[in-house]
Structure 1
Amino acid sequence: MKFILISPKNRTIYNFRGDLIKEIRSKGYEIIVTGPNLDNIDKVKGLGVRFELIPLNKTGLNIYEDLKYLIRLIKLFRSEKPDITLGYTIKPVIYGSLAAKFSGVKNIYSMVTGAGYVFTAKTLKANIIKYFASLLYRIGFRCSKKVIFQNNDDMEEFIKNNLIKKDKCELVNGSGVNMDKYPPVDFPETFTFFMLSRVLHSKGIREYLEAAKKVKEKYPDVRFMLLGAVENIQDSLKRQELDPYIENGIIDYFDETNDVASFYKQCSVYVLPSYREGTPRTVLEAMAMGRPIITSDAPGCRETVIEEKNGFLVPVKNSDLLANKMEWFIQHQDKIHDMGRASYELCRGKFDVNKVNEEMLKHMSIK
């Protein structure tokens, strides 16, 4: 039996799908993984998979490059004759499903890990892209046997907009988190807020920076950390926009790392004011390590917080209320242990990767 996973980025293969891959392998499947480049290839192959390089610009709008991606997937599928394919994120879902259908694959599955930038931005360009993305989603979903969503809001919106029929939809609690890899740890001596994200507007990075600036003026000893890459894409802040917050001592900034657990250890409260998510993996990791959460009252994010029990939800794009909740934690530091414990218990009951993967295999009829 052969399973092909269609991925947009190598890092997500071992970070987000590693446990799922191991579970599918344990059922006797040979697994082939496609990736856009050779980044971190040793870590990918370390999962016991065969890697196939199929270049992809996951955010580009070049139809010629997308057609080349589709054709290469078709060649791979016709050569390998997989029993099951699974694509995640927009282009692997659309073109992976089409390629599998053209190649006669019977069991085609897709996973929507979040609606993405084009469904949150309101610019003319984003609306045009959303129109064509919606059209392509409809086509790709028709090829899929089942489409797995990571939160109910995304699923209901896709159904409401006639992108997919309800009887084709399944729901899981995000990608899950390995509770053994991210165990609870003691809180740091310095009260610290932490955000881990690519430096994108749609992740709420601007709101985090502005809230940090406001709070830092009143509580100069409180620490703010930011970890994540500045990318050369439309939604990203430029490095020169980030530099003043670093130079003025408002945030401690760190680039990408393979050891994110060491950063969660340094924080008292985890913050992600994102505009929309599938289910944010970073929030789940912070919860597993026993951290209270401040996140946005937005699709994907709101599932991770029980208000005032393990954290707070704040409105999207509201740095003032975000700063208010940060100040609440500073003023009620005696609450963070109990709220952190509540995060851990919620994560263990709902987002444990073993439970999520059990549901994934069931939806793909893998026994």
Structure 2
Amino acid sequence: MKAKLIRITTVPLSLKVLLKGQHRFMSEHFEVIGVSSPGKELADVKKDEGVEVIEIDMSRKITPIKDIISLWNTYRFLKREKPEIVHTHTPKAGIVGMLAANLAGVPHRLHTVAGLPLMESAGTKRKILEFVEKLTYASANMVYPNSKGLYDYILKNNYTDKHKLKVIGNGSSNGIDTSFFSPGQVSEAQKDSLRKEFNIKNEDFVFVFVGRLVGDKGINELVKAFSLLNKTEDPQRRFKLLLVGPLEQELDPLPEDILKEIKDNPDIIDAGFQKDVRPYFAVSDVLAFPSYREGFPNVVMQAGAMGLPSIVSDINGCNEIIIEDQNGIIVPVKNSEKLYKAMERMKSDTQYYQKLKMNARPMIESRYEQSEVWNALLSEYKKLIKERDYRV
């Protein structure tokens, strides 16, 4: 009989997208159950991954009453299922899942840290988030930061002991499927169609951003930098900015002047959320990703696998995937002037750009191939179970 592995995320989209393919892979070795809040994506996980899924309502915000209910429901579920491993992802799933697993006596309680919202918080809110983070780690047997930067940050702030911390492989929660994210997967006809739809000319130099259009992702700085870059009358210097992702005004609203610039500037293309981002990378020249905080951003790996160099901010994850002057440029956080200069260099220094572009895909293939990440995590699971068997 296979040991039972339960993976928990706050919202079903995380279970579906952030861990895509991993559930099916792990189901060859474990009885896998996915747990998340209700949503159609949960049914997609069941269908696509071939694993059982369970709905337990969880809120992304600080909601004490709802959180206690989530904790109780998760505890009862785990007590009934008696899993060998509970592995949580995302902050709220972490605190609910790790506390419940500890109370239920689950032998292996594992939590992956893929970003820390508290980094951009202050005052009372930060203190609450830090307390929750420490409580999550205290309830876990092992904590897996998905980047070396997060590992160092957690240690520096004394959120947990060093013996509980480990980075799996070279980082990343799920790696990257480089056969799927490959330039050859997008046909010339697809690219021509997309260029025609968005009025992108062959001579245009296209910067692409993929992600939520919110302040924390550096959209304000990106729009300001692009607007400055775009103020040229030189017909040889045509630029486009392709924004691929949803607006989330209710969580982290963009200011009115930025929204107006996105709407009114004919060279800024707001493509909205797209299920398949590969064609958008394929018609672009550079990924511009000036985020304030990340765990280990899939977007930067995806762009690299599609052959694009990147401009990223000097933050966890980004500054590990991108190596300065090899496959991209690293700029300070919240600095539109430095971002502008990096964007300008990508266009003006052709030899430099071609060098970065040539390195982009090989540097992802050699470090973050998905199968390597999955097997490293599987080895960790097996090692933990074997150690327990010896103890028993």
TM-score normalised to the size of structure 2? 0.87
* Deviation, structure 1 residue 265: 0.9
Unaligned runs of 5+ in 1: none
Match of residue 341 from structure 1: 358
Counterpart pick for 2:247 among 230, 240, 248: 230
Aligned residue number for residue 165 of structure 1: 161
In 2 relative to 1, CA 155–307 (structure 1 residues): closer, same or farther, beyond 3 Å?
Answer: same
What is the deviation of 1:33? 0.8
2:26 aligned to 21, 24, 27, which one?
24
Deviation at 1:241, TM superposition (A): 4.3
Match for residue 79 of structure 1?
A: 80
Q: Percent identity?
A: 25
Deviation at 1:235, TM superposition (A): 2.5
AA partner of residue 165 (structure 1): D
Q: Alpha-carbon deviations, 1:23-50, whole Å to 9, x = none?
A: 21121x1211112122324421121111
Q: SS of the counterpart of 2:216? A: helix
- 1:264-289 Cα deviation digits (max 9, x unpaired): 11110011001121111100000011
What amino acid is aligned across from residue 327 of structure 1 in structure 2? E
**1:180 maps to amino acid:** S
- The Cα of 1:258 is off from its aligned counterpart by 1.0
Matched AA of 1:119: M
Query: By how many angstroms is 1:257 displaced?
Result: 1.7
Aligned to 1:266: 283
1:193-223 CA-partner distances (Å, limit 9, x unpaired): 0001111211111111111111111266211
Question: In the alignment, which residue of structure 2 is the partner of 1:6?
Answer: 8
Deviation at 1:234, TM superposition (A): 4.0
Task: Report which stretch shifted further, 84-93 or 355-364.
Answer: 355-364
Calculate the TM-score normalised by the size of structure 1.
Answer: 0.92
- The aligned residue for residue 180 of structure 1 is 179
- Residue matched to 1:90: 91
The CA distance in 1 between the partners of 2:227 and 2:40, in whole Å, is 36
Cα offset, 1:11, TM superposition: 2.1
Take 2:52 and 2:245, find their aligned partners in 1: how far apart are those partners? 29
In 2, the alpha carbon distance for the partners of 1:334 and 1:9 equals: 44
Report matched runs for 1:116-195 at 5 Å. Answer: 116=117, 118-121=118-121, 126-172=122-168, 173-175=171-173, 176-185=175-184, 189=202, 190-195=204-209
Q: Which stretch of the first structure deviates more once superposed, 149-158 or 232-241? A: 232-241
**CA offsets 1:72-123 (integer angstroms, 9 cap, x no match):** 111211121111111011111111000011111111100000112x2124xx
- Deviation sequence 1:178-198 (CA, Å, 0-9, x none): 111101359973320000111
Residues 147 and 168 in structure 1, CA contact (< 8 A), matched pair in contact too: yes
CA–CA separation in structure 2 for the residues paired with 1:31 and 1:232:
35
Q: Does 1:206 align with 2:220?
A: yes
8 Å Cα contact 2:239-2:267 kept in structure 1: no
Q: 1:7 Cα deviation (Å)? A: 0.9
- Higher mean C-alpha deviation, range 82-91 or range 218-227: 218-227
> After superposition, what is the alpha-carbon deviation per residue over 1:146-202, rounded to whole angstroms, capped at 9, x for unaligned?
110111221122122221100110103112111111013599733200001111211
1:330 partnered with 2:330: no
Kindly report which structure 2 residues correspond to 1:184-333, keeping only aligned pairs within 5 A, or say none: 184-185=183-184, 189=202, 190-218=204-232, 221-237=238-254, 241-333=258-350
Q: Describe the superposition over 1:215-258 as per-residue Cα deviations: whole angstroms up to 9, x where unpaired.
A: 11126621110111112444332678424322222410022121
What is the CA–CA distance in structure 2 between the aligned matches of 1:34 and 1:224, rounded to whole Å?
37
Report the secondary structure of 1:343's partner residue.
Answer: helix
One-letter code aligned to 1:120: E
- State how many pairs are aligned: 360
Structure ID, larger Rg: 2
Structure 2: 5+ residue runs without aligned partners? 192-201, 386-392
Amino acid at match of 2:328: G
* Alpha carbons 2:181, 2:306 under 8 Å: kept: yes
Q: Distance in 2 between matches of 1:266 and 1:25?
A: 37
Q: Match for residue 40 of structure 2?
A: 39
Pair 139,350 (structure 1): closer, same or farther in 2 beyond 3 Å: same
The whole-number CA distance in structure 1 between the counterparts of 2:87 and 2:261 is 43
Task: Look up the SS of the partner of 1:320 in the other structure.
Answer: helix
Specify the alignment match of 1:111 in structure 2.
112
Moved more, 328-337 or 77-86: 328-337
Other-structure match for 2:198: none
Q: Root-mean-square deviation (CA), in Å?
A: 2.0
Structure 1's 95 and 325: CA in aligned 2 closer, same or farther, altered over 3 A? same
- Which residue is equivalent to 1:353? 370
Shift in CA distance, 291/14, structure 1 to aligned 2, threshold 3 Å = same
Which segment is superposed worse, 208-217 or 334-343?
Answer: 334-343
Contact 1:276 1:301 in 2 (8 A): no
Distance verdict in 2 for CA 1:77–1:240, change over 3 Å: farther
Counterpart CA distance in 1 for 2:354 and 2:24 is 34
